[in-house]
Structure 1
Amino acid sequence: MAVHRKPRQRSLSGHTARTAATLALAGAATATGFEGTGHAEPQLTPAQVKAKVDQLYQEAEVATEKYDGTKEKADATQRRLKALQDETARKQEKLNSARDALGSIAAAQYRDGGIDPAWQLALSSDPDQYLEDAALAERAGDRQAGAVTRVRRQLREIEQLRGAAHVELTSLRSRQAELKRQKTAINGKLGEARQLLDRLSPQQRAAVTSSDGSGRASRSAPDARAPLSQGSVAAPDSRAAAAVSYAYAKLGSPYVWGATGPDSFDCSGLAQAAYRSAGVSIPRTTYAQINAGRRVSRSELQPGDLVFFYSGISHVGIYIGNGQMIHAPNPSAPVRIAPIDEMPFAGATRVV
């Protein structure tokens, strides 16, 4: 009978022991993080946070302008689809009435039995009256044929309307999907910026989100309109003056991407709302607004001109004179007055 011996465990020694010890230490370091320092992200200075947050806000604003443009197209598509559906319903109602009329004619013919006209003439007790009735019937037949033709035409029109509505519906669904993607991108950028700002102290955060990064409070109170009321810089006409006045009245309003007022705005939404208050319609997005009037140089700027920033034309403000503008900066700051040289200048447009 065979004897089964328990295998003898080999002791760790030499190189094997050193390797095991190294692995154990590495495991412990991973598990404990050396008291949290193993995977710690590098601590950013307030200046580095400001640079990163500014970049994220600018990227979010590019995405916001794309969202605004897509939303505008989606809304237009929705209106066209609704008009097509309403027109289809109206034509369907007319078609149903025409079909009912044809059904009544067909039922009357069935009741008459469809007797051959020659026999009807031979059997008539009043041939002259029959001939007169036959002429009326022939004209009625012509009207019936016309009614059939109209029904067929209405059917074709309804099918064309339904085809057009299907195209618009497909386009709308595509734009709605694009809106969802753009919204996700915007929220991602803004969320990342919030996380960075949350790492700072209140004083540091105030400095980072101030207009010039110095920590000085930006001018966002209604009394900031004083320079304009003193007449130091006059708007070129009443509509530009009305747009500037509207912008002053909205100082302190929160920035909300996609908003066009009256209580919150994004940058192009503020510009559009200001000119809408003056009775002037301008496009929704910055890259369309820059072409909404006559281009002017920086040295020619007058109050009411729209000033644009960044190479992608992703930000806009309303010029108020003396190198200043009113704009909706980003989610960390309300509508406020700021110098136009705080961002890369891309051009200006005089709307009226």
Structure 2
Amino acid sequence: MRRSPRAHGHRTAAALTLLCALTVTTQAPALAAPGPGPATLDEVRVQLDALYHQAEVATGKYDAADQKARAQQKKVDVLNGRVRRAEQQRERLTQLLGAAARAQYRGGGLPAELQFALSSDPEHALDDAALTQQAQQATRQRLTVLAAARKELRRRTDEATAELEDLRASRRAMDRHRDTIEKRIDAARALEARLKEEERQRLAALEKRAADKAQAQWVGTGVLDRIGTTGSAAGRRAIAYATQQLGKPYVWGAEGPDSFDCSGLTSQAWLHAGVAIPRTSEEQWARLPHVPVDRMRPGDLVIYFSDASHVALYIGDGKIISAPRPGRFVYVSPAGSMQILGVVRPDPDA
């Protein structure tokens, strides 16, 4: 039985109401407050873009929390290793002192001056006694210094372990927030799936039209006339790696080999080019050398949005390779289709 236009209108209104419900506020990072439900497909597109952007911000925060926790774990492991080596050294020195005491006991426990008097070679006996006394004194001093160093190491280890627990707690909080965002993403994708095929095509066309418009405005500034067309050898290797990942899905926190998030792709591309860079887009923006947008070249990283929540690899001719958002795949797109914050250059030889 064919549905009436009125029934279809109810279904579409329900779908749009669901989308509006997706934008309620949560904790860290805060999401946009609810507003009037979208009434047109273009408003649906804007709402979906906002939701996916918020999800990407959450991804970056999760990745950063995870990276900090892993780095702190390595720090704790190093400190614990140093404590163990100090304890082993103390044990060896203690054994040396015990062996010296036992040797002296087996020799009758004679004082050095008496050993000198009874020795057939007084000069040699004096040398032996002096050296033994000096060695024992030096060993005791080393034990004292070692005990102090071990105490300081233990204090630092305890502090590092406490910091690690705080970071783990933060990561657990991000895990809970991640679950919330993933549920929203699932709901948003369900909303898209509820649209009729014609509506989905129109929505895709609207997305492309918006991207093309932004790209045309960016190109219209003449920026491509000034951008370099040749990258470094390392940049070309990074591009070659990213190109091999085309078509692989976007997944939260993934850095290959089967899926990626945006900074997972760029960090792995440059790692395969022989350069280790920060894991998250925020850290890539904060710690890598900045270059003017009109001086970028293939292999550079384009950072997007005022919060540096998205990153892509510039491949030349005004195009990028990126892992765009949940539900999408690694693909080639216009570099100016999103709000560019700036450009960074990972190549240390640039």
How high is the TM-score relative to the length of structure 2?
0.72
| 8 A contact 2:250–2:330 mirrored in 1 | yes
Aligned partner (choices 250, 253, 263) of residue 268 of structure 1? 263
Matched with 2:145 is 153
1:81: which partner in 2?
Answer: 76
Taking a change above 3 Å as real, the CA distance of residues 173 and 253 of structure 1, as seen in their structure-2 partners, is: same
Q: Secondary structure at the match of 2:207?
A: coil
Q: Which runs of 5+ in 1 are unaligned?
A: 1-38, 216-232
Q: Distance in 2 between matches of 1:167 and 1:109?
A: 43
Residue of structure 1 in register with 2:234 after alignment: 239
How far off its partner does 1:117 sit?
A: 7.3
Conserved? CA contact 2:265–2:323, under 8 Å = yes
Counterpart position of 2:170: 178
1:94 corresponds, among 78, 83, 89, to: 89
Maintained 8 Å contact 2:42/2:206? no
Q: Which residue of 2 aligns with 1:296?
A: 292
SS of the aligned residue for 2:313 comes to strand
Q: CA deviation at 1:295?
A: 1.4
The AA in structure 1 aligned to 2:50 is Q
Q: Is this contact kept in 2: 1:243–1:304, CA < 8 A?
A: yes
Instruction: Name the stretch that deviates more: 194-203 or 150-159.
Output: 194-203
8 Å Cα contact 1:294-1:350 kept in structure 2: yes
State the 1:263 CA deviation.
2.1
**Aligned-residue offset at 1:328:** 0.5
CA displacement, residues 76-107 of structure 1 (integer Å, 9 cap, x when unaligned): 22222212222222222221111112123334
SS in 1 for 2:332: strand
Write the distance in 1 (CA, Å) between the matches of 2:342 and 2:176: 30
Ranges of 4+ aligned residues in structure 1 off by more than 6 Å? 115-118
Note the alpha carbon deviations across 1:218-242, whole angstroms, 9 max, x for none: xxxxxxxxxxxxxxx9433322222
In the alignment, the residues of structure 1 paired with residue 338 and residue 231 of structure 2 have an alpha-carbon distance, to the nearest angstrom, of 25
Are residues 127 and 107 of structure 1, via their aligned partners in 2, closer, same or farther at CA, if it must alter by over 3 Å?
closer
Letter paired with 2:260: F
Is contact 2:267–2:277 with CA below 8 Å preserved after alignment? yes
Which of 164, 176, 181 lines up with 1:189 in the alignment? 181
Residue of 252, 256, 259 corresponding to 1:257: 252
Residue type at the aligned position of 2:154: R
Mapped pair 1:203 → 2:197: yes
Q: Distance in 2 between matches of 1:214 and 1:155?
A: 68
**Separation in 2, partners of 1:172, 1:208:** 49
Map residues 40-59 of structure 1 onto 2, 5 A cutoff: 42=17, 46-59=41-54
Quote the residue 2:26 is aligned against: none
| Aligned twin of 2:5 | none
Task: Write the letter of the residue equivalent to 2:302.
Answer: V
Query: Out of 41, 57, 64, which is 2:59 matched to?
Result: 64
**Percent identity for Structure 1 against Structure 2:** 30
Q: Distance in 2 between matches of 1:79 and 1:211?
A: 48
| Cα distance in 1 for residues equivalent to 2:199 and 2:104 | 88
| Contact 2:290–2:342 (CA under 8 A) maintained in structure 1 | no
Q: Distance in 2 between matches of 1:211 and 1:145?
A: 85
Specify which of 326, 332, 335 is matched with residue 337 of structure 1: 332
> Aligned pair in 2 of structure 1 residues 70, 43: CA closer, same or farther (>3 Å)?
closer
Aligned equivalents of 1:284, 1:211: Cα separation in 2: 33
Say how many residue pairs are matched.
Answer: 292
If the length of structure 1 is used for normalisation, what is the TM-score?
Answer: 0.71
CA distance in 2, matches of 1:148, 1:242: 58
C-alpha deviation, 1:188, in angstroms: 1.1
Structure 1 contact 57–190 (Cα < 8 Å) conserved: no
Letter in 2 for 1:271: T
Aligned equivalents of 2:167, 2:202: Cα separation in 1 = 36
Displacement after TM superposition at 1:111 (Å): 5.8
**Paired residue type of 2:289:** G
Q: Tell me, what secondary structure is at the counterpart of 1:348?
A: strand
Q: RMSD of the TM alignment (CA)?
A: 3.3
Letter in 1 for 2:173: R
